[in-house]
Amino acid sequence: MRMTGSQRGMTAAQAWVLALTSVSSLMVALDALVVTTALPAIRVQLHASLAELEWTVNAYVLSLAVLLMTGAALGDRFGRRRMFAAGMGLFTAASAACALAPGIGWLIAARAVQGAGAAVMLPVGLALLSAGFPPERRWARWSAARPCRACPGRGSSGSMCRSG
């Protein structure tokens, strides 16, 4: 017998919010793991120096950190769902640009844009989660989905580097 959303204690809309915010969190976390694992391959394939490898990591982290509050403010001003979708689209497009980067400069630039997308996605996703669940269940749902976001990290990042 199939359970309905109310029997699981969650509506269909809440399930979508939880799924999308979990996927966005996975994308951001997995991206950091993949790049860290791929640094030796990036060095060889793109003939990058140590400083350029550092910028490959730092461009993402800096743009994410600097734009995090701006991303949250954009969600408040222009709508959370709209900005979440924009952040997800920007992050995905920048990920494709990273994969297609012909040189290390292009990769660093794409990583900075990727960080900007993550800076919109993360705070707005948490705001959507806060709005979608009552306070007593909000973080329990988010925390319960956390192992699903964390587990694939190391194994998938290594296999992506070997196949690329």
Could you write out the DSSP letters of every residue in the chain?
-PPPHHHHT--HHHHHHHHHHHHHHHHHHHHHHHHHHHHHHHHHHTT--HHHHHHHHHHHHHHHHHHHHHHHHHHHHH-HHHHHHHHHHHHHHHHHHHHH-SSHHHHHHHHHHHHHHHHHHHHHHHHHHHHHS-HHHHHHHHHHHHHHHHTTHHHHHHHHHHH-
Its pTM stands at: 0.79
Q: Return per-residue pLDDT of the chain as tens, 164 residues.
A: 454 544 457 888 888 888 888 888 889 888 888 999 999 999 999 999 999 999 999 999 999 999 999 999 999 999 999 999 999 999 999 999 999 999 999 999 999 999 999 999 999 998 988 888 777 665 655 555 555 545 554 444 444 445 44
